[in-house]
Chain A
Amino acid sequence: MTITPRLAWRNLWRYPRRTWLTVSAIAFSAMLLVFMITLQLGAYDMMIDTSLRVFTGEMQIQRQGYLDKPQMRASVPAAQASAARLRQATGLQAIAVRANGFALASSGTRSYGVPVIGVEPAFEPRVSTLPRLIKHGRYLSGDSAQEAVLGAALARNLKLGVGGELTLLGSGRDGSVAATVLSVVGIFDSGNPELDRHVVEIPLRTFQDVFSMGEEAHAIVIAGPGMEQIKQTEARIAALLPAGQGLVLLDWEKLLPGIKQMIQADMVQNWFTYIILIVVVTFSILNTFLMSVLERTREFGIMLALGATPWRLGGLVLLESVLLTLMGIVLGIVVGGGIAVYLHQHGFTFPGMKEIYAQFGLPGVIYPKLSFASFTLGPAVIFLFTAAAALYPALRIRKLNAVEAMHAV
């Protein structure tokens, strides 16, 4: 080993207590960042997952342009057959067909304009949590049943209960009048006001009959095996997409752009907090670095006299800071990472969180996200900041004059 690293290492241990305090400060902030970032990314995944599980699914096949301009005629041909093929080809069962329309929903006394959704009762529960959130009655029984389920708020507004009669009046795909009377078999309460106030679900075949859709529908909803495999799932489905029908596969970022924006805003806010933490730590470290340089002025003077260049001394000081920071960071990653791994296995939740989420049929447990990035991002930023802080004393050495330095005590 050359002498410089030895020198740097031993210089660190001249004042072991000071070094340990500094290492601890760095380790603590690195640990905190690893813990918070893995948890934060895990929370995003949970949030995305929860939002998608309620209704949207992870991805949908639609006709090109339908997302921006949902016209009835922009439909997916032979939708059920296509969905069945996809299930078979991929082995994924959480694939369901939906058709969307709009109707005036009325009970005896009141009417509201609402979206009406045709669903496959056998597959819909696999892509959406709504069927499991039926609080009164039951879910739809079969593809051609003359039944409807609706949101709790809508049911209240229409003064309808289970067993009541819902009249739908709209226009079909071909412009003809679409009208039917269905019996209300279930009322769901999802906690999501958008859904509870507006949505009416009816069986797909019934929908297709009423709205003159033939075999067509508007979306094939896919809820993959989980966020972690979402990219692979997307690639597999995309490869199976029938060509020449103008169909597109849309992922959740396109289906629910609001989530992504919310996450980005949250991320900015969190990083703001992290940076403040890092800056505070950096200043306390800068102080240590400076002190350790100032108290060695005489020694540096001797080294300069012996013919060491200021560059070399600056490099020595920089090396010391880097060693110090790396010790802290490694310690922080080990401890913070350990906590993250533990929570990844056991889940992170706080009192009450599970109960609140359970009401909506969701787990309410955050699993910290373990990845190279989530482990190293925070510590890397700490490293950059402290390295920048170490530059200051390193550059100060360059101004040192050997004679004056040797007179220092």
Chain B
Amino acid sequence: MEHTVLCRNVSKVYRQDTVAVQALTDVSLEIPRLDFVCLSGPSGSGKSTLLNLIGGLDRPTGGEIYVDGNRVDQMEKGALAELRLRRIGFVFQAYNLIPVLTARENVEFVMQLQGVAAGERTRKAREILKEVGLEDLENRRPGELSGGQQQRVAVARAIVSAPSLVLADEPTANLDSKTAENLMQLLRHMNREHGVTFIFSTHDKLVMEFSQRLITLRDGRIVDDVRRD
């Protein structure tokens, strides 16, 4: 189980009425533990599709996908939810948070799903919020936080459940370059300090700079895969 993620000949076809869209074609990929991987490629190249398949949010049309040695593409729904809850963290492009919950409650929400006791939940949430630099804003609701702060809360929430993998689909797309850079530094910090594998997508050159490994997709195929360290 040396790989966090393993994809073998993964393809995905979306069917809408009579039209079929080939979103991914024959994608094979190995991502070792603690890797910090960037999926790049133009809009429509299949980045989100691939991340969703790895995260078990959608099923491939063909091929095999493993996360921590578990075959994701054939897992039944309940087991998938459990896998996401325990092993995978998600950060999305925007509006990641539950608007009626405060920053800390958003972080605690996942731990509640995991069944962590209330006291420990609060303690851990405070700790992680401090780590992302939001200790003073824990009682604010998402609407009272800036876009960058919201994304930090989302990162805190993804990390706090101690996953082995975090999937971040264009986490910086709605941020200015300075804020984006800060967020990327935070992700890198989490990758190192918490021993979590990261896969994020972007089409921003500046963001790609942070990756250890840069995979480029075009029309649903991997066209480039370079290690940058």
Contact = CB atoms under 8 A, between A and B. Distances in A.
B112 A3 contact: yes
Contacts of B81: 304, 307-309
Contacts of A406: 92
Contacts of B109: 3, 7, 303, 306
Nearest to B106: A3
Interface string A297-325: 01100111111110010000000000000
B98 A2 contact: no
Nearest to B100: A10
Interface in A369-409: 401-403, 406
Contacts of B157: 306
A297 to B, nearest CB: 12
Interface residues of A, number: 23
Contact of A402 (B57, B88, B95, B98): B57
Contacts, number: 67
Interface in B31-83: 52, 55, 57-58, 78, 81-83
B11 to A, nearest CB: 17
A69 interface: no
Contact of B101 (A10, A298, A304, A403): A10
A302 B92 contact: yes
B144 to A, nearest CB: 14
A299 B99 contact: yes
Interface in B138-166: 157
B84 A307 contact: yes
B218 interface: no
A17 interface: no
A2 B55 CA distance: 27
A312 B95 contact: no
Nearest to A309: B81
Given A302-B92, A306-B109, A308-B113, A3 B101 contact: yes
A11 interface: yes
Contact of A302 (B88, B96, B114): B96
B159 to A, nearest CB: 13
B82 to A, nearest CB: 7
Contacts of B170: none
Contact of B90 (A3, A306, A309, A401): A306
B186 interface: no
Interface string A120-134: 000000000000000
A406 B81 CA distance: 16
A6 B105 contact: yes
B118 interface: yes
Contacts of B95: 298, 302
B175 interface: no
A388 to B, nearest CB: 26
A6 B58 CA distance: 30
B86 A307 contact: yes
B82 A2 contact: no
Nearest to A3: B112
Given A10-B100, A403-B52, A406-B92, A306 B105 contact: no
B96 A403 contact: no
Given A10-B100, A302-B92, A403-B52, A4 B112 contact: yes
Interface in A1-58: 2-4, 6-7, 10-11, 14
B101 A6 contact: yes
A309 B78 contact: yes
Given A307-B82, A307-B85, A403-B52, A7 B113 contact: no
CB-based closest 4 A-B pairs: A307-B85, A10-B100, A307-B84, A402-B57
Interface of B: 52, 55, 57-58, 78, 81-86, 88, 90, 92, 95-96, 98-101, 105, 108-110, 112-114, 118, 157
12 contacts: A3-B112, A4-B112, A7-B100, A14-B99, A299-B99, A302-B90, A303-B98, A305-B90, A306-B110, A306-B113, A307-B84, A403-B57
